[in-house]
Amino acid sequence: MKLDKDLVREILLAIEASDQTPDSWIDLAIDSHSEDEVSYHVMLLHEAGLIVAQDLCSMSDFDWRPKRLTIRGHEFLDTVRDGEVWRRTKVGAEKAGVASIGFLLELGKAYGKQVLKERLGIQLP
């Protein structure tokens, strides 16, 4: 299964918007994505350290459920929350031929600084 950059962002936004307590599982239903696709991406986000999730897989069911964002997950989401930063991040990743979550975070930070410079006229370190 390929990494779906938009699904990564959608999952993070859904977790952030959830009113569940951090010790509860969050049931995610993302339109146009199967439960297996969502579970796979939840697992990847957990492995990348962006969320805390739990493996509820059984012999007949693939099921990863998110519980909360980590501080790194909040930072990633804050970086790519802006639609223009996210658009540039995706285009940059496609041009580079790289789609790893770590690369998306670094690219998002760079584009975030660029967009802030354009909007505010200040250079960030």
**Residue 67 in tokens:** 């519980």
- Convert the pLDDT of each residue in 25-60 to its tens digit: 998 989 899 999 999 999 999 999 999 999 998 888
- Whether the per-residue pLDDT at 7 is higher than 90: the answer is yes
Q: How far apart are CA 114 and CA 3, in angstroms?
A: 25
- Convert the pLDDT of each residue in 51-105 to its tens digit: 999 999 888 889 999 999 999 999 999 989 999 999 999 999 999 888 788 888 8
Q: Which residues contact 37 (CB under 8 A, 6 or more apart)?
A: 1, 4, 7, 30
